[in-house]
Amino acid sequence: MDSHPSVRRDLALARAALDSGSPAEAAGPLAAALAIAPTLPEIHELLSRLAARSGGGLDLFPAAPHAPVGHVAARAHLLAAAGRPEEALPLLAAASGHAPATDWAGLPWVADPALGLRIEPDVLARTVMRLCTAIGDPAPADAVPALQPYLAVVRHAVAAHGEHGMLLGAGSALARRLGEVHLAVDWAGRGARAQPSKLGEIWLGYAFRSAGRTPEALAALRRAVAYDPDDLSVYADVAATLADLDRLDEALRWTELALERDPAFDCVVHTAHRLRFRADGDIKHLVSLADFVRDHPDDAHEHTDLEECCRNTAWLGGMPAGAPLPAGRGPAGAEPSADALNRLLRVATTDWAHPPAAYDRALGLVLVQPGELLGMLGHPVVTGSGEPGSLEIWACLGLLHHGSEQPWLDSDRRRLLLGLLDGDPDRVSQAALFALVTYAWVDPEARADVAAVVAGRLTETASGPAARAVAEIALAAPGLDRPARELAAATIRVPEVPRQRQKGRSLLRWRRD
């Protein structure tokens, strides 16, 4: 039996309810246990007792929108026990979409080859497409084993319906997400030949890209455009594929063609800004993309272009590796409470997706008073952190969320952060400067002011030992003028004399998988 205490408790309650002739009282505990241990034999033994009732127990788990995942899985298993596995599989797939790494489908009725033969290929194709949308592309590595049973169902179905284009294409999409790229290419190619269509060519193009066959992917995506010249999402796919072939000028022309038709089409906007940044390295493209993301919260689907462009870049995606600045100063505010320190420790990290994500992550620190945030800057827990500079950064980012209703130029948060820039460069002034830069990313009205502050700080430190540290932050600042940006770039290019590591201090390292 599963060792989870709640599973043992729920099973005991369900068994007692069934023994006393109260099956309705068993439904809730069974669903709760199923959500934690979906393949536990004891759970399915009790479900079989419900299935033996008149009506098969389905009345206890009625179909309902937004039902708990355990409820959905229980209904699926009861449908399968009633001889209706083709109705059960979409429900089980919905559970897998909710928690892909959980082994929802590792059961005999799913593995039975007869399921792939009896389920309608259109139904299976739609089920697989919904599952693909839910699990991501690619699927998380820890979810691949739990999702393999669905791929087996598709294999059985393809054996019976080998010319069904939609089934082959959807199966290709699932195979690709699970790392079966050769199978993905085979199925997508068969589907595109059996039933030529725009979607078939898109599936084939994606399969070729996953297999590293980029020229063939490009050809398939161009054929998809020919089927439907008004589908601008395919233009974005073509542009991305051209970029993979280092044909960046052509790629940008495809994005321009699409933007002429619809300047706000999300897929193309994201792709265009990413490729423009790749072409010239100017962060103005990423800032514009961040503005677009903020102004269009209801995009058709999630995009990762901004995160990918910021990844592993100093201050855009996290703290740079290298020797930290000195701690520098004593406590500047009130003694922080244990709760305040715990909140800071919970949000602190050395990396983030992009500056707006860092701003959002610090939102929880609005519950810590500004005086306590200032007090943390000299607290031993902060100054002695194993990641020097990290906790100071998050304390300063927390200040941005206080007095947010105040206009930036007259705000307390601006005044406090500017005050922390006084004196010689240290970890606190570095953190304050990054907080100002981060705010410029999320508030266009603050950009000119922050750019002026950053340029001034850059000039002040240009010949000192902290010049490189300041220059790296400056290059992340929106709206920095060309002379300041050139000065920052030149400062970073000048070789530094290595500084001796402080005893007991570790250099900053990326926390990337």
Rounded Cα gap, residues 26 and 32, in angstroms: 10
Q: How many domains does the chain have?
A: 2
**Secondary structure letter of residue 365 according to DSSP:** G
SS3 for 408-465, per residue?
A: HHHCHHHHHHHHCCCCCCCHHHHHHHHHHHHHHHHCHHHHHHHHHHHHHHHHHHCCCC
Is the CB of residue 388 less than 8 Å from the CB of residue 505?
Answer: yes
**Secondary structure letter of residue 498 according to DSSP:** P
Tens digit of each residue's pLDDT (9 = 90 or more) over 39-76: 999 999 999 999 998 889 999 999 988 899 999 999 99
In DSSP terms, 314 is beta-bridged to 318
Which residue has tokens 């209703």?
405
For the four alpha carbons of 505, 510, 512 and 513, in that order, the dihedral sign comes to: negative
For the four alpha carbons of 297, 298, 300 and 302, in that order, the dihedral sign comes to: positive
Q: Are residues 303 and 346 in the same domain?
A: no
Q: Are residues 255 and 400 in the same domain?
A: no
Q: Are residues 234 and 292 in the same domain?
A: yes
Q: Are residues 298 and 352 in the same domain?
A: no
Q: Are residues 306 and 344 in the same domain?
A: no
Q: Are residues 371 and 285 in the same domain?
A: no
The C-alpha angle with vertex 441 and arms to 439 and 443, in degrees rounded to 5, equals 65
- Residue 251 domain-assigned? yes
Q: Are residues 294 and 409 in the same domain?
A: no
* Higher per-residue confidence, 229 vs 299: 229
pLDDT for res 57:
92
- Tokens describing residue 150: 């669905």
Give the range of the structural domain holding residue 277, as residue numbers without chain letter. 230-310
Domain containing 281 — which CATH number? 1.25.40.10
Q: Which of 236, 320, 248 is nearest to 280 (CA)?
A: 248
For the four alpha carbons of 404, 406, 409 and 415, in that order, the dihedral sign comes to: negative
479: helix, coil or strand?
coil
Tens digit of each residue's pLDDT (9 = 90 or more) over 149-203: 999 999 999 999 989 999 999 999 999 999 999 999 999 999 999 999 999 999 9
- The Cβ-side half-sphere exposure at 378, using a 13 Å CA radius, reads 12
Which residue has tokens 């127990």?
57
- Tokens describing residue 440: 């410029």
Rounded Cα gap, residues 289 and 310, in angstroms: 12
Q: Which residues contact 430 (CB under 8 A, 6 or more apart)?
A: 325, 389, 392, 393, 466, 469, 470, 473
* Higher per-residue confidence, 510 vs 188: 188
Q: Is 8 exposed, middle or buried (0-12, 13-18, 19+ CB in 10 A)?
A: middle
Q: Are residues 290 and 350 in the same domain?
A: no
Q: Are residues 408 and 462 in the same domain?
A: yes
pLDDT for res 336:
86
Q: Are residues 370 and 477 in the same domain?
A: yes
- Residue 158 domain-assigned? no
- Residue 327 domain-assigned? no
- Residue 45 domain-assigned? no
Is the CB of residue 114 less than 8 Å from the CB of residue 102?
Answer: no
Q: Are residues 385 and 449 in the same domain?
A: yes
Q: Does 367 score more than 90 pLDDT?
A: yes
230: helix, coil or strand?
coil
Tens digit of each residue's pLDDT (9 = 90 or more) over 38-47: 999 999 999 9
Tens digit of each residue's pLDDT (9 = 90 or more) over 243-293: 999 999 999 999 999 999 999 999 999 999 999 999 999 999 999 999 999
Q: Are residues 234 and 347 in the same domain?
A: no
Q: If you average pLDDT over every residue of the chain, what do you get?
A: 91
Q: Is 413 exposed, middle or buried (0-12, 13-18, 19+ CB in 10 A)?
A: buried
- Tokens describing residue 398: 């927390």
- Residue 435 domain-assigned? yes
DSSP 36-58: H-TT-HHHHHHHHHHHTSGGGGG
